[in-house]
Amino acid sequence: MGFLLGIDEAGKGPVIGPLVIAGVLISEENEGKLKKLGIKDSKELSPEKRKKFSEEIKNLSEDFVVLKISARELNKEMDTKTLNEIEIGRIAQIINSFWMKRPKVYIDALEANTKKFKEKILSRLKDKKIEIIAKNNADKTYPVVSAASIIAKVTRDSEIKNLHKKYGFFGSGYPSDERTIEFLEKLDREVYNKIVRLKWETSKNILKNKKQRKLLEF
């Protein structure tokens, strides 16, 4: 019996909260069951549908891995790495955790040059002979990647709800969300350092404006 491993992420663009990367391992015979369920890219599903599918995917899978990288971790790691390098390291970590199963790996590629992206992944693997299919928008093409995108998105949504409960509602956490910007402009600096991605231009500009306002008040 062969295995398929799908990998995708959720929350790459937001200025608040974690980046989540998920890997879903299924047997080849269960791939058809994913298709029958109507599994598709998480962005095309309602939150209720994602949550329902998430449980069904977990039941169908042989195993799954979810890696959460907090804003604070991203801030630290981005002192020496790009966001893509951080993600590539985590993707390799997921593949290495299943290397003894020798799965066929499907990844939603982070870069336009999928050949180079694949080489970067392979260079970090225990088994360099593992077959990898890295495609842009793979979450729209391969059910096992769609499954990973759903697990990642449901996990990210849950983490955001927890942050809302703890610090107050801030919308989606994306820079394009006016509620997020308003929240950041009023946010205490200590909390800002905990939950905000400080390397993002949005957060840099807001911090700069905060400092300027303080100087004017002084």
The model's pLDDT over 104-154, given as tens digits with 9 standing for 90+, comes to 999 999 999 999 999 999 999 999 999 999 999 998 899 999 999 999 999
Q: What is the pLDDT of residues 160-174, one digit of tens each?
A: 999 999 999 999 999
User: Residue 145 contacts by C-beta under 8 Å, 6 or more apart in sequence?
Assistant: 6, 7, 8, 106, 107, 108, 138, 139
- Domains of the chain in sequence order: 3-164 (3.30.420.10), 168-217 (1.10.10)
User: Residue 30 contacts by C-beta under 8 Å, 6 or more apart in sequence?
Assistant: 60, 61
**Predicted model pTM:** 0.92
